[in-house]
Chains A and B, each alone.
Chain A
Amino acid sequence: MAGLHVGRSSSLTHLAMGGVLALAALLLSAVFWASNDTLRLTTDIFLYIALACLWNFLAGYAGLVSVGQQAYVGLGGYGLFALAAKADVPALYALPLLGFIAALLSVPIAKLLFRLRGAYFTIGSWVVAEVFHLGAILVVPLGGGSGMSLPVRAAQALGRTPHDRFVTTYLTALVLLLSVLIMIFVVLRSRMGLALTAIRDNEAAARSNGVNVDRVKLIVYVAAAAATAMVGALIFIQKLRISPDAGFSVNDWTALIIFMVVIGGIGTFEGPILGALIYFLLRETLATLGPVYLIILGAVAIAVMLIEPRGIWGFVRARWGLQLLPLSFVVGTSASKIEK
C-alpha cells in the first residue's frame, strides 16, 4: 500500500491551476492588443459562461431545474437602465447594487417557489419570469412594450470612444466571471459543497444525514439570482438597448444556457464552461442558420441526455479519470485517477 494517499490535488490539478492563472493573465492582457470585435465577442463568451455556470450551480448541484432565470437577467438589464436614466447612477456602481436588489427580491420568490416540488418548481419558475416580463410591459416610464435605450451620457461614462467602452465592459465581465467561478469553486470545496454534492446524488439520503436541504437550496438560489442579475446588466450594457421581449427571453437566457450545460456536462464544474465554448464555436461557424441552429442544439442536447446524461465532461472524467480542478477527493498513488 506504499504511496497511497487521499487528496484533491494531483500533478494534473497543479498543472491545470497554473494553466488557469496563465489564461487569466492572458485574458487580462487582451485589452492592450485585441480588436473591438474580439473584445466584444470575448465579453459575450464570458457572460454566457457565467450564466451557464450559474444555471449549473442551481440545477446540477442544488437540483433546482429553473427555466425562469431570464427573470433575473431582465431584472439586471432593466435595473441598470432605470438607475442610469432616472437616477444617474454610473453603470459600474449600479452592478453591486443590482446584485443586492436581486438577492433581496429572490428570497420571497424562493419561499414561494420551493412550495412546488421537483418538476412543478420548473414551471413555477417560468411563471415568475413571465410575471416580470408582463410587468415590464406595463411600466411606461421604462418604455412599456417597446423598451428603452441606454442614455448616451450613461454609455459615455463607460468610456469616451467605443474602444474604451469595450475595454471597460470586457474587464468588468472578466472580473464578474472570475468572481462567479471562484464563488462556485470555493462553495463546492466547502462544507456546503459537500452538502450540495450529497443533494445532487440523492436528496432523500442527504436529508436523512442531517443536511438542511431547504436552507442550502435557498442560499444557492439567492446567490445565483444576484450574480445572474449582474450578468444581465452587463449583457444589456453591451446591447445598449432593452425591451421586455429581449430582457426576459426564455430562448436566449435559459434554453441556450440549458443546452450548453447539458452538452458540456451537468453537475460538473468544467462542463458548463466547455459547453459554452462549444456553443460559441458552433455559433461562429453556423450563425446564418437561425431557427435550424436552435433545432440542432436542442436535438444534440436531447441526444446527450438520452445517451450520456453526464455530458461530454462527465464522460471524459469517468472514462479517463481526469480531474482538472482540485474539487473531488481522489485516491491514488500519485497519478490523477478518480475512484468512481
Chain B
Amino acid sequence: MEHVVNAIVQGVLTGGLYAMFAIGLALIFGIMRLVNIAHGDLIVLAAYVALIVTQTLGLNPLLALVIVIPIMAIVGYGLQRGLFNRTIGTDVMPSLLVSFGLSVIIQNGLLILFSADNKRLQAGPLEVASVTLSDTISIGLLPLLQLVLAILVIIGLQFLLYRTAIGRAFRAVSDDPRIAQLMGLNNKHVFALAMALSCAIVALAGVLLAIRANFDPATGPTRLIFGFEAVIIGGLTSFWGTLAGGIILGVVQSVASSFDPGWQILAGHIAFLIVLAVRPNGLFGRVA
C-alpha cells in the first residue's frame, strides 16, 4: 500500500511538469486556434540550448534559464512571424502540416548536431535533494519545484491575461481577430507575442525535463502527446483544469510504473482514451 501512496505523490509532482508541457500548447490554441505539432520538439530544442549554455558558461541549469528563456522566446516570435502567421485561417490543415514539417526538421537537425546519444543537464546537489516524509515516501526537491513553478506559471498567466494590456490584446484577437484589428491591434505582432510566451514556458519546461531525465533528439513527440493528453483530460476550459489533467496523467503513469515499468506510458495513453470515451469534454470541462 505504501508504495502506491508513494507512486501517487511522485505522480502528482510529475504532473506539474506535464502541465507545463500542456500550458504552452493550450495558450496558443486558445489565442489563435493553432495546434503546434512541433511543440514537443521545441521543448527538446530548449533542453539542447540549455545544454550548450551550461557547458560553455559553466552555469547551473536553473540560472541558465535567464538566457534560455529569452532565446526561446525570440525563436517563438520568429517562427510565428516567418511561418505560422502565413498559415492561420479557417482551415487547420496548413498550420498542422507546416508544424509537422517543422517537427521533423527540428528532430533531424538536432540529430545531426548532437547525435542520437542521451544527454542530461547536471544541476548538482539539487538533483538528489529530498525531504523524507516516512520510510517509503520522500519528496524530491526538484519535482516539488516543478509543481510549484507550474502553479506560479498559471498564476502569472492569469494575471497577464486578465490584468494587463497585452493580456487584453490576447483575449481580443482570440475572441475576434478582425474586430481586434479594426480596434488598432497588429494581429501578426500579437500572435507572435503569444507564440513567444508559449516558447518561454517551453524553455522552462525543457530545462526542468532535462535536469530530471535523459533526453535525445527523438524525445519531443512523446512530450507533445503528454501535454495534449493533459489538455484534453483537463477539459480545455482553464489552466487549472490543465494542471489537474497533468496531475491525473502523472499519477496514472506513476502508479502503473510502480507495478510494471513497461506500462508507464501506455497506461497514460489508455487513461486518456478512457476519458475521451466516457467524458469527451474532459473531467473538468463543461458539458457541451
Contact = CB atoms under 8 A, between A and B. Distances in A.
A24 interface: no
Contact of B98 (A122, A251, A302): A302
B23 to A, nearest CB: 16
Contacts of A124: 232, 276
Contacts of A255: 100, 104
Interface stretch (A14-22, A126-134, A183-191, A224-232): A126-134
A299 B105 CA distance: 7
Contact of A112 (B100, B102, B105, B273): B273
B288 to A, nearest CB: 11
Given A65-B97, A131-B273, A122 B232 contact: no
A259 B100 CA distance: 10
Nearest to A60: B93
Contacts of A112: 273, 276-277
B113 to A, nearest CB: 10
Interface in A227-271: 250-251, 255, 258-259, 262, 266
B152 to A, nearest CB: 27
B59 interface: no
A306 B101 contact: no
Nearest to B222: A130
Contact of A295 (B93, B108, B232): B108
A65 B108 contact: no
Interface in A117-162: 118-120, 122-124, 126-128, 130-131, 134-135, 137-138
Contacts of A65: 92-93, 96-97
Given A65-B92, A298-B104, A305-B94, A123 B111 contact: no
Given A292-B112, A306-B87, A119 B105 contact: no
Nearest to B274: A112
Contacts of B37: 67, 122-123
Nearest to A113: B276
B93 to A, nearest CB: 6
A301 B228 contact: no
Contact of B221 (A137, A250, A258, A297): A250
A298 B102 contact: yes
Contacts of B102: 298, 302
Interface residues of B, number: 42
Interface string A284-309: 00000001101101110110011001
Given A123-B35, A302-B83, A131 B270 contact: yes
B269 A123 contact: no
A291 B217 CA distance: 12
Interface string B103-146: 01100110110000000000000000000000000000000000
A128 B269 CA distance: 8
B3 interface: no
B265 interface: yes
A87 B140 CA distance: 51
Contacts of B105: 294-295, 298-299, 302
Contact of B35 (A59, A119, A302, A305): A119
A234 B153 CA distance: 50
Contacts of B276: 112, 115-116, 124
B266 A135 contact: yes
A123 B273 contact: no
B86 interface: yes
Contacts of A116: 232, 276
A127 B101 contact: no
Contacts of B104: 251, 255, 294-295, 297-298
Contacts of B94: 305-306, 309
Given A118-B92, A126-B221, A127-B273, 16 more contacts: A112-B276, A112-B277, A115-B276, A119-B29, A119-B92, A122-B37, A126-B225, A127-B228, A138-B262, A259-B101, A262-B97, A295-B104, A295-B112, A298-B101, A298-B104, A305-B97
* In the complex, the 8 A-B pairs of residues with the closest C-beta atoms, listed nearest first: A119-B35, A291-B108, A134-B266, A298-B101, A115-B280, A302-B101, A298-B104, A298-B105
